[in-house]
Structure 1
């Protein structure tokens, strides 16, 4: 009788084993995490129900990093109780686990591959997709307004299970890392908000409001790049990510909320004519990067 009972259980055991094994793989925790990200689309540091759903997939060290950033955010608010302007910390409206602007509200997440790394960690590559909806555009969605981007997730083993230890944003069409979530909380020293580093030649404060183009205003923060003013109505910009390798110029940046600039035109005027030439790029590369 016992033999018959065991033989009846064998198919069930053999069916369940691959499923259990799959759930114990490093990519499974990433898949589960991004199922919550797509469903909840949290902006800024997750709180409340979002935090309760997301935290179990994170490592203890990663949780400490994010909670320290939350304490820093709270300290900023304490320091600016009567300030009604937009907060200076850059992660307020970002999707920490996905990206900025439309990337903050992904509609789909697909784990594409997994690569073993040093010290037993893994890098899991994820393709995220944004799809326009009536809720996001206030009009019937256009199927053409869909795009995808890739990120990588660092996974480690902790306490006998796999957990997410960092989120890596990748350069476009590349596997090279552009930034890490764990290092993206600029302006914080531990749990204290200290602001962005200031240039000694800009005594007017940490923020300048200047016009770009003819009418488009843009807020310019110190310490995140280099900009040059040709006149009072136009600014040519060099993104700090491009210096000193490319030094490519971008005019206007009126749609790039993530490009924060340091104006150095008070220190030295740019060469004339101010165009994207090898000489200009070499001149730009001699500037110190002040952040």
Structure 2
């Protein structure tokens, strides 16, 4: 039959829209043998969508949840040591991890036919962040029986009133990591960040190379086009220069011919005047006779 905690965990695996029917069926199943347990089951409230999504992550992404809670241990260690650079790096890592887990939760919900709004997705991330800052909140998350989202406010303990159904969540005793383990984890995270930075730099420089390659191709095409235009203009210039030379030669020849013709015209005019003068003289002689 199972305990109330076990039954609650089982019911909160069901999509919110199917919860009431599943709870009713479970009450009917248990009531003949254990009326008190049946009454307790009937009081279980339906989980909000963000709380249900977090429960799905606990069930289906256990390794990622463990990684998030291990990161929380590192953050507490860095805070105790007042290691500001490590805290800054780990805070960024926490933000990145909670956002990725929230997206994973939305994907799981989609596969199960549950729509997750952007506001609900924000509450999923806030719940994960609360679990990473408060051990009691972490236990509530790991219980798989959350009915509402969690929120962390400053350095205050996370409010868990009415957050877990089917009984209080039990604190999970997490193994303490040695200094060497923490140092190794921090070194690995530093190496991962260096790799991400290098990949980002490579992506940016590769994008710049691609852009410059495109500009270089365009410039070379323009150079080829201008070279063809230059060659055409040079051929046209050579043709014009040849025509100019021919025209200048024709000019010189025509000038010589004109001078010769002009001299011939002057001689002919002189001959004409002489002939006219002779004719005039003969005319006068004839009139006198």
Instruction: Flag the structure with higher helix content.
Output: 2
Q: Which has the larger radius of gyration?
A: 2
Indicate whether the TM-score tops 0.5. no
Higher RCO (C-alpha under 8 Å, 6+ residues apart):
2
Normalising by the residue count of structure 2, what TM-score does the alignment of the two structures yield?
0.25
Q: TM-score, normalised by structure 1?
A: 0.25
